[in-house]
Amino acid sequence: MSVPMSLKPEQQQSRRSRRRFWLLVGASSIVMCIICAVSVGFAASSAIHTVKQHGSIPERYYLNIIGSDYSTASSYLDRSATIGGQPVDQQAFTRLAKAADAQYGTAHGILLSTESDATHVTVTVSRGLHSYDVHLVLKQENGTWKIISADEI
């Protein structure tokens, strides 16, 4: 008849200390990941805020569209601005922006490229799985830049 073997007290203590070690390592890793995530989130928020305050007009315009702040985005349009050849005011702009959100999904990314001069900018807009180019024309009046035309939002 065989007798079941049991761990000696020293072996049990060794297993417990290893378990505590790995629990400590795991908890420390989780804390470090949280700290990193908060730091990255804060840095990204700060960078977006800086661009919204000091970036180019197309950058500010599209960051507000990405944030669904259509009234602020429309403030970068000239009073006589057109989108797709149609004159737009704040209400028309908001309708067009919401229609684009419904059709393609909300905007989540942009890539800007200045053409031959600073008054013509091509923006590649990403919405859902769809990306498209928008051609912006800007003008400076009384020291302020405004968008005077875009082929779409």
How does pLDDT run across 7-53, given as a tens digit for each residue? 555 555 566 668 888 888 888 888 888 887 776 766 655 555 555 55
Number of domains in the chain: 2
**Mean pLDDT score across all residues of the chain:** 84
This prediction's pTM: 0.65
Residue type, 115: E
Give backbone dihedrals phi and psi of 28, rounded to 5 degrees, phi first.
Answer: -65, -40
Residue type, 108: H
Residue 4 lies in a domain: no
Give backbone dihedrals phi and psi of 152, rounded to 5 degrees, phi first.
Answer: -165, 180
Q: Are 14 and 74 in a shared domain?
A: no
Q: Which domain holds residue 112?
A: 56-150
Q: Are 26 and 69 in a shared domain?
A: no
* 3-state percent helix, strand, coil for the chain, nearest multiple of 5: 50, 30, 20
